[in-house]
Structure 1
Amino acid sequence: MKRTRVNLIVVRRSPLDPRRGRLEAGTLVLPCALGRSGTRRDKREGDGASPVGRFALLQGFYRADRQPRPRTGLKLRPIRPQDGWSDDPKDRRYNRPVPLPCPTSHEKMWREDHLYDVVLDIDWNRGPIRRGRGSAIFLHLARPGFSPTEGCVAIPRQAIRRLLERIGPDTRIAIVG
């Protein structure tokens, strides 16, 4: 069945628990986990908040050893064991992909916990990059029970393919505070 492409994904924070929310992509409505500190307009590195605003989805990554390439209009590439993401504000490569091993603080993209089996790069603090304003803000897979993220948006594993089929390079994500 051909899906209608959506231009806007809206993430709304729950009024009952600021660490949880609802992601809406056209007719697709999903529960989601948000940052352990809820949402913030003035996001900072390490604050545990998901940033409020409207952002592009720059690219996606997936674990090719665990699944075939998902169907989507968004640019995707396989994650490799040596892929990392700098989260050190002192690193000149802050909030950018880095090769591992890396001597500065970083996220490992190749994870055993499956959270990054599919991960989308949300355009938070990506250009111009401002040191200390937050890094590695992704849309990725949720933990069981939707426990909070470190500032990302996380959705159920069983729903990621339905979302990916609906998005492309013109899709934006709006995280509502």
Structure 2
Amino acid sequence: MIKRILSILLIISLVLIQLMTFLSSKAYACSCAFLETKEKLELYSAVFEGTVIEIGETKSLSPYSQVRDYTFEVERGWKGVKDKKVIVTSLDGGSNSCGYQFSKDQTYLVYASLDKDDTLITSLCSNNLLSSEAGEELKQLGAGQHINSNNEEGTPSSIILYSILILILLLIIVAVWRIRTRIRK
């Protein structure tokens, strides 16, 4: 009799354990911490507002992970951005892989980090926002710095300006030298 009761309890326990496995709650690929705007500004390497002008092809990092590059035309920046065009990389699986998928011709407030290769990367947990939905965050960030020039080679515009000034100075020196040599003759 005791064996029979133990057998029934064992079967009921196994059935309950099996039911608990099927009735478990959803599992999410990532879990993100909520950060205040100022905390995100300190945490991320680059913070900018820009429009997606190009979406790159998917690249495989491994059999289980794919990334995609997004090229932005930067309108204003708060941190880590000096060029008019910036490329940001994200996992390509969207929210299923904690990646963030941007849409072409849409303007976003972007938070990105530098990886070991100095590539800007972002994710679902970076809390990127469409600019149209980022009113309060944009207000908290302030005016930012408007990005006007684009140096495709990555040369700062101040170096170009100094180079032109040095060239003008050299031309003036050569002109003065030629005038002096003509006066002496």
TM-score by length of 1: 0.28
- Going by fraction, where is strand more abundant, 1 or 2? 1
Q: Structure with the greater relative contact order (CA < 8 A, sep ≥ 6): 1 or 2?
A: 1
Greater helix fraction, Structure 1 or Structure 2: 2
Larger Rg: 2
Superposition TM-score, scaled by structure 2 size: 0.27
